[in-house]
Amino acid sequence: MDIPRTIHLSSNDGRLLLRPYEVSDAADMYEAVIASRSELSPWMDWCTPQYAIQDTREWLQSLPDAWKQGEIYGFGIFDAGTEQFVGGCGLNHILWDYKLANLGYWVRSERTREGIATRAAIVVARFGIEKLGLRRVEIIAAVENAASRRVAEKTGAQFEGILRNRIKIGDQNLDTAMYSLIPDDFGQG
């Protein structure tokens, strides 16, 4: 699938833009990660004290091939007025035989509690279902990650239960809450 140039968030305020990541986003993304490290690192295995801008560049450089291979569909979230990089949202861990994917999201600390992650997650889930033909979009969040769980609930995702030892952050195995969105949730039954 070709990478679309932009996907606008369907929100009434018009304040956000969602588009595929570009390598030129590296400095802005890195700055957002560093500014949010204390909130991200407990839940994002990649957000370590050693995280460097080169890690950001390498990941961004890998995305066009991952997109073309159907492995990752990653989007940067930007403030439409200021063009500030405010976070990311994407589909990964895609199992094409089952038409399911994991949905992940994060927002820089200074922009949390604005509904950004929720709006982005809904748009990306809808993209997965309507454009990619997914039958199921899963959201997993560590049981203790109250903010991510709130976002999952606000998207309308159904809570399905607790998965024991589902993710590993550092040397810790964490239980997660499992949520899902399916085509029926978007009137696509």
| Spatial distance between the Cα atoms of 135 and 166, rounded to a whole number of angstroms | 21
Conformational region of residue 99, where left means phi above 0, alpha means psi within -120 to 50, and beta covers everything else: left
What's the confidence (pLDDT) of residue 10?
A: 45
What's the confidence (pLDDT) of residue 189?
A: 65
What's the confidence (pLDDT) of residue 9?
A: 45
CA dist list (Å): 62 to 8, 51, 93, 116, 131 = 23, 17, 15, 25, 22
**Helix/strand/coil for 9:** coil
What's the confidence (pLDDT) of residue 89?
A: 96
| Spatial distance between the Cα atoms of 73 and 149, rounded to a whole number of angstroms | 21
- Tens digit of pLDDT at every position of the chain (189 positions): 655 555 554 444 568 899 999 999 999 999 999 998 888 777 888 877 888 999 999 999 999 999 999 999 999 999 988 889 999 999 999 999 999 999 999 999 999 999 999 999 999 999 999 999 999 999 999 999 999 999 999 999 999 999 999 999 888 999 999 999 999 999 876
pTM, rounded to two decimals: 0.90
According to CATH, what is the number of the domain 7-134? 3.40.630.30
State whether the Cα torsion 145-140-92-171 is positive or negative.
positive
Burial label, 59 (beta-carbon count in 10 A; 0-12, 13-18, 19+):
middle
